[in-house]
Amino acid sequence: MKPEPEDEPPQVQQQLEAKPRRLYQAWKGNNIFLCGGRLIFGPDAASLLLTTFLIIAPTIIFCYQMKSKFHDSNSTGQQHMHRAALVIVIITTIMDLVFLFMTSARDPGIVPRNTRAPPEADELLLGSNTPSMDWSDGRTPRMRFRRPKDVIVNGFMVKVKFCETCLRYRPPRSSHCSICNNCVHKFDHHCPWVGQCIGLRNYRYFFLFIATSTFLCIFVFVFAWLSVYSQMEDNGGSMWMALRKEAYSFALIIYSSIVVWFVGGLTVFHLYLISTNQTTYENFRYHYDKKDNPYRKRIAANFAEVFFTKIPPSMANFRSWVGEGALEAGFYTPYIGLDVTTPREKIDLDRENKEVLVGGRADPNSTSEHRLWFL
């Protein structure tokens, strides 16, 4: 006989009556979700306003100056040059803002998290005593951490660590961002200027953003100097008089010369990282320039991996419905397992004839060839 709802325990009734929510509404990270979870920003997304202002303000000044020179110019050649400069700067600025938005408003590669730790096994923990045993012995309980996993990536040994916040083993090249409170796949860094983590799914747009910003700074810098030089010819070669009459150009020269050191240097640095298939995090932590890099390929292949490969879909469907019962069961996402093995990057467990639970589940169809699964 099926029990009536009122005969159920209070806890079960509460779960039955709980209204399902979308994943982004139950997400424990520090992200800001807009448009029903379609847009994903970091917790410091307000910095986008400052970044946008720093791009648009000098562009408006430059366009005003070019328009004035276009009307004041008597030469057809100079009019064409000023018109071309105006069009190039407007198009470049629009592209820059689009790349900024694509970097900041999309999932950078957030790794799904668990709400409960996977089943504990003594062989996976550092420290075999339980807290109750420690208290009974008159000792302070010790923290028990899961051991890192040793996996093989392209013939190199790589350690896969357990994240105590997300309660799962991180995929290779992943790290936990303390600002966003998420594990991010192929984590590069957290950029305060875009208010978002830079990872696998938005690194391409981040690089295009800083490269476009560098081109914009150099272009404005060159044309501002051309305006000053033109005024010098009209004022007998006096630099002081030219700068007084070209106050806007002088301001643009100072501004662009300062900004280009930051975005230009960042662009050159990331060109080096792309050519060697590193992330900023890996470069500072693992120093792959001094030892073997398991992910490095030929330079052309490294660039093709960033710019010409399909961006993988989000690992977490933030618009999916997640009931309270599923949350209490210990999982945020409907995924049972996520195989990180790719045709280019073969990853095998470095344990022979042993099935290892990672993230709480193992592949039910696994045979002698064990694969590493992440939940």
Please tell me the number of Cα atoms within 13 Å of 72 on its side-chain side: 9
Active-site hit among 163, 166, 183, 191: 191
Residue 217 among the catalytic residues: no
Q: Is 320 exposed, middle or buried (0-12, 13-18, 19+ CB in 10 A)?
A: middle
Residue 113's nearest CA partner among 179, 183, 22 is: 183
Residues 6+ apart with CB under 8 A from 30: 42, 43, 179, 180, 181, 182
Residues 6+ apart with CB under 8 A from 178: none
SS3 157: strand
* Strand residue runs (E) in the chain: 21-22, 32-34, 39-41, 125-126, 145-146, 149-153, 156-160, 162-163, 168-169, 175-177, 182-184, 189-191, 196-198, 321-322, 338-339, 347-349, 373-374
Residue 36's nearest CA partner among 19, 45, 24 is: 24
Residues with a catalytic annotation lie at 191
